[in-house]
Amino acid sequence: MMGRLFWKIFLWFWAAMLLVGGGVAWGVSVVYEQLVAEEIAPPFVEGIADARAERVAAILAYGGRKEALRYLHHYDRHPFPMLVLNPQGEDILGHPVLEEVARYATDPGLRETQPRSGLADVTMPDGVRLLVVAPLPRTMAEFREMERWREISHRERAPDPTTPMIQTLQVLTAIAISALVCFWLAWYLAKPIKQLSQATRRLSEGDLSVRVSPDLSHRQDEIAALGREFDHMAERLQSLLDAKKRLLVDVSHELRSPLARMQVASALAQRQAPEASAEFDRIDREIERLGSLIDQVLDVARQNEKDAAIPMDDEVKLHQLLQEIVADTDFEARANARGVHLLACPKLTLQGSEELLRRAVENVVRNAIRHTPPGTTVEVTLTHAPTHATIEVCDAGPGVPQAMMEHIFDPFVRVGEARDREGGGYGLGLAIAQQAMSRHGGTIKAENRSAGGLSVFLDLPLPLKGTTGTTQG
């Protein structure tokens, strides 16, 4: 599909080409008229006069007077008629003859002393010598008038009904050719820009492997240079993120050993000082939290590699999956005076990874449980349209500031530090959910509810494997 930039380039180039073509044609016609009037007119007009005279002479010689009279009849209304003079200097059609022209017929030697164009001799079968005289215009206005009358006589003698059609086809062909040239030029300029736009969108969605130089290798212009700079930027981003991921993995691995030693030391110390068991229990809880954090950091850092190894060909019964997740999380939430309810759940089956979808939904629901106040419930709803299915998870918590809305799916982002610590969150659950949704070609977004709380929407593309019935919980 062609974008607006393509059509702008196409229309501007096409309009410019038509204007330039029209201007050049007009300029050529003006210059031509000036050249005809100033330089070309005398020899050009004399050549035309000679040709006309020779034509009439040939008709007289081979067709006789009758055929010549039929031909000359079309010049009767002409302001500058063709003349056929007899030896007495009279026109055989009765046109008036100027004295200086009649002398060329009565005095054959005059043509040698006073040459004139547009004369042709012919001797008839009866021996009579005739002189054909073609008119010579004295001014440019007379020349144009002669041409106008010549065209009129031609149309009257042999009108060509195809002439307007041919002229129209010539104009349409010129317009079509110019349109094709401008179309190709616009496509040549707009295509790499569209490729760069698509690559930029993929890069913003996390696909750091995208490159555009292979598609622009045949170009040697500024757009190709821009493509090389884009690839350099993508490679730099990929190397930085890979370095960050390696750092997280290395640091997490290095922290595991001292944590394990701390746990052992705490257990030994607790045996030697049982009176300080409360303090040692607090130490053990903090060590467990650090261990849990390290596990989640490793999980996020290795998510792409782990996800790539997970097959995506499971027949996932989405309604059944949601019912299991809601049942498990509701059991956990009741221990903290909260609940999880499944409001609507039509039967949907799609192809994907049940493990990844379970991970995504569980993280979102558990995040909602942490933020919804005691005595309230988290509501889960499944709906579907012809092109996608949507899982909506709503809580009754304080919501998210609008400035943070786009960042809550980034790793280690927490809206409220103290609140998230108390709830056991490290800012990784929603990031894991987003990665799982991306693997399915889906999206995840959040919106504040008008009545208070936050709604998280997980959109999954369809086609469906089946849609029947509706279950509610």
Please give the positions annotated as active site. Answer: 253
Q: SS3 letters for the chain?
A: CCCHHHHHHHHHHHHHHHHHHHHHHHHHHHHHHHHHHHHHHHHHHHHHHHHHHHHHHHHHHHHHHHHHHHHHHHHCCCCCCCEEECCCCCECCCCCCCHHHHHHHHCCCHHHHCCCCCEEEEECCCCCEEEEECCCCCCHHHHHHHHHHHHHHHHHHCCCCHHHHHHHHHHHHHHHHHHHHHHHHHHHHHHHHHHHHHHHHHHHCCCCCCCCHHHHCCCCCHHHHHHHHHHHHHHHHHHHHHHHHHHHHHHHHHHHHHHHHHHHHHHHHHHHCHHHHHHHHHHHHHHHHHHHHHHHHHHHHCHHHHHHHCCCCEEEEHHHHHHHHHHHHHHHHHCCCCEEEEEEEEEEEEEECHHHHHHHHHHHHHHHHHHCCCCCEEEEEEEECCCEEEEEEECCCCCCCHHHCCCCCCCCCCCCHHHHHHCCCCCCHHHHHHHHHHHCCCEEEEEECCCCCEEEEEEEECCCCEEEEEECC
Cβ proximity of 59 and 122 under 8 Å: no
Neighbouring C-beta atoms of residue 449, cutoff 10 Å: 13
Instruction: Mark 325-353 as b/e (b = at least 16 C-beta within 10 Å).
Output: bbeebbeebeeeebbbebeebbbbebebb
How far apart, in whole angstroms, are the C-alpha atoms of residue 209 and residue 436? 18
How far apart, in whole angstroms, are the C-alpha atoms of residue 225 and residue 211? 13
Cβ proximity of 358 and 345 under 8 Å: no
